[in-house]
């Protein structure tokens, strides 16, 4: 992600000066901003007056205010005009800000090539956020030819100037193998060194990455306590990934003392931030009353949120609740649709359950052949109940020709995997088989 960074919150000039012919210094501009923010209308007026005299510092700060809609009416086109005027006069932060607007098409037509030119000017002047932004363009080949060497060079300059996000980007390059002693080969140790730099600078995502690596012992010696300390710092900054990981710890998944209420609070915070796995976890907690009272309807809402975002496991949980939950919430047709989504995501339990729906005609038109196809998928994944239900279809001749011998073979497979009903069928056949020698054609196993 690119950042329109270091845009000051407002400018200020010394009170009592009737005319402002001289250019403002950055400190003077910030003083005016602070005064205006404290309610001094005169300070804002003096900022406008100096901007009218083409003072770059005033133009930059006023453009920033107009961009953010603070103390003045927001107007992105006007903000772009003010920032460009400051940029034209060599103001590095304005050059970076105007480049950001060009890159993203904010207030002006999108033009990544021109954005790169403005970033180049600001970066050459030492503007660290422009250096970071320029590094990202080179990394992605946006507006410039892709060049990881240049990307790393600009990121390194920005990081040396204190940019945590630039240090994080370097870490990502090393972790992915995008740039390492051998390209294409991840260098986790180098990545963690850069993540630590960014983490110590307070960047939440770097704190999470570093903490998770230390907790799992990936790229560094395993240190769960230190890892969780970094994760807690990240969670305190509302990083949803850190909040979810910490919630699982507090739920009894690791080194933290169990605290169900805090686990629930963190999970809901991460879920409200739109993290699908946290939405699913919130649904699970609410369905079973973990950290709060049971609330199947609230669980249904969170499962639906996560499933709509493509979380296959949430789609499965949602379908089960619609299929087997409280009677007033059941909706077999919708359950079948979500089972299908879960199946597409690779959840073979969904195929087993869809097979049951097709076999019984619940929520879908009865279709024994489709039931058998679904059971076979689940059986291939090792589900014993799927093996058992295939046996029943062969025994009854549902969707296939009745075949007692094949049925017995499937019952035996299910029994080998510990399926109690299949085992009972096998045990019940043992004596008749001993008496008759070949019971396959004589026995009808019935529906199980």
Per-residue confidence band for 198, with pLDDT thresholds at 50, 70 and 90 = very high
Domains held by the chain: number: 1
**Residue 23: how many CB atoms within 10 A of its CB?**
15
Ranges 37-46, 78-87, 421-430, most confident:
78-87
In this prediction, residues 225-244 reach a mean pLDDT of 97
Residue 371 exposure: Cα atoms within 13 Å on the Cβ side: 26
In tens, the pLDDT along 357-401 reads: 999 999 999 999 999 999 999 999 999 999 999 999 999 999 999
CATH number at residue 16: 1.25.40.10
Angle at 384 between CA 380 and CA 390, to 5 degrees: 75
Residue 181: its pLDDT value, please?
66
Q: Is 431 helix (H, G, I), strand (E, B) or coil?
A: helix
In a domain, 33, yes or no: yes
pLDDT digits (tens, 9 = 90+) for 251-307: 987 788 999 999 999 999 999 999 999 999 999 999 999 998 999 999 999 999 999
Q: Which two tokens stand for residue 226?
A: 């230190």
Q: Is residue 426 part of a domain?
A: no
- For residue 174, what pLDDT is reported? 93
Q: Where are the alpha helices (DSSP H) in 201-311?
A: 204-216, 224-236, 240-248, 260-272, 276-288, 296-308
Q: Is the pLDDT of residue 230 over 50?
A: yes
Q: For residue 235, is it within any domain? A: no
Q: Evaluate if pTM is beyond 0.95.
A: no
Question: In whole numbers, what is the pLDDT of the chain averaged over residues?
Answer: 90
pLDDT given at position 299: 98
pLDDT of residue 378: 97
Structure tokens at 312: 């296959």
pLDDT for 366 equals: 97
Question: Residue 292: CB partners within 8 Å, gap ≥ 6?
Answer: 261, 264, 285, 286
Rounded to an integer, the average pLDDT of 103-116 is 97
Task: Return the pLDDT at 113.
Answer: 98
Range name among 54-58, 83-87, 341-345 with the lowest pLDDT average: 54-58
* Cα gap 192→205, rounded to integer Å: 12
Task: Please report whether residue 43 resides in a domain.
Answer: yes
User: Please, what is the end-to-end C-alpha distance for the chain in angstroms?
Assistant: 57
Q: Within a domain: residue 47? A: yes
Q: Output the pLDDT for position 51.
A: 86
pLDDT at 252: 87
- Asked if residue 150 is part of any domain, the answer here is no
Tell me the pLDDT tens digit for each residue of 135-190.
Answer: 999 999 999 999 999 999 999 999 999 999 999 999 999 999 887 667 778 899 99
In a domain, 338, yes or no: no
Residue 153 lies in a domain: no
Q: d(Cα 415, Cα 165) in Å, to the nearest integer? A: 57
pLDDT at 23 (0 to 100) = 80
Per-residue confidence at 422, pLDDT binned at 50, 70, 90? Answer: very high
Host domain of residue 24: 1-144
CB within 8 A of 219, min separation 6: which ones? 175, 188, 189, 191, 192, 213
DSSP 8-state code for residue 252: I
Any idea which of 120-129, 244-253, 264-273 has the lowest mean pLDDT? Answer: 244-253
Residue 244 has pLDDT above 80, yes or no: yes
Weakest-pLDDT range from 208-212, 234-238, 404-408: 404-408
């Amino acid at each position: 992600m690119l950042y329109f960074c270091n845009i000051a919150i407002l400018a200020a000039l010394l009170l009592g000066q009737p005319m402002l012919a001289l250019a403002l210094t950055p400190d003077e501009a910030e003083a005016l901003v602070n005064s205006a923010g404290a309610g001094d209308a005169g300070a804002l007026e003096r900022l406008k007056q100096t901007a009218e005299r083409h003072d770059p510092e005033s133009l930059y700060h006023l453009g920033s205010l107009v961009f953010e809609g603070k103390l003045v009416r927001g107007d992105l086109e006007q903000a772009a005009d003010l920032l460009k005027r400051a940029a034209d006069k060599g103001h590095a932060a304005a050059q970076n800000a105007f480049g950001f607007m060009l890159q993203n098409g904010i207030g002006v037509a999108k033009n990544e090539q021109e954005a790169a030119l403005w970033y180049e000017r600001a970066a050459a002047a030492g503007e660290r956020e422009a250096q970071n932004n320029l590094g990202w363009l080179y990394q992605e080949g946006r507006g410039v030819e892709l060049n990881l060497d240049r990307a790393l060079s600009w990121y390194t300059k920005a990081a040396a100037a204190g940019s945590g996000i630039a240090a994080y980007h370097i870490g990502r390059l090393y972790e992915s193998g995008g740039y390492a002693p051998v390209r294409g080969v991840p260098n986790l140790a180098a990545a963690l060194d850069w993540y630590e730099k960014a983490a110590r600078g307070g960047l939440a995502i770097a704190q999470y990455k570093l903490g998770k690596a230390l907790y799992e012992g990936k790229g560094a010696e395993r240190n769960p306590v230190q890892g969780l300390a970094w994760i807690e710092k990240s969670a305190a900054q509302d990083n949803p990934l850190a909040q979810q990981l910490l919630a699982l710890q507090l739920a009894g998944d690791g080194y933290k003392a169990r605290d169900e209420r805090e686990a629930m609070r963190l999970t809901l915070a991460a879920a409200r931030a739109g993290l699908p796995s946290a939405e699913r976890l919130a649904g699970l907690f609410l369905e079973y009353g973990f950290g709060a009272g049971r609330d199947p309807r609230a669980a249904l809402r969170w499962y639906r949120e996560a499933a709509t975002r493509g979380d296959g496991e949430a789609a499965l949980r949602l379908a089960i609740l619609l299929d087997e939950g409280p009677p007033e919430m059941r909706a077999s047709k919708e359950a079948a649709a979500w089972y299908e989504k879960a199946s597409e995501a690779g959840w073979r339990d969904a195929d087993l359950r869809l097979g049951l729906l097709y076999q019984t005609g619940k929520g879908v038109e009865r279709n024994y052949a489709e039931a058998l196809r679904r059971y076979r998928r689940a059986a291939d994944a090792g589900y014993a109940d799927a093996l058992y239900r295939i046996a029943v279809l062969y025994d009854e001749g549902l969707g296939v020709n009745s075949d007692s011998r094949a049925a017995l073979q499937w019952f035996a497979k299910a029994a080998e995997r510990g399926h109690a009903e299949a085992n009972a069928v096998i045990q019940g056949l043992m004596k008749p088989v001993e008496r008759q020698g070949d019971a396959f054609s004589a026995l009808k196993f019935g529906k199980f």
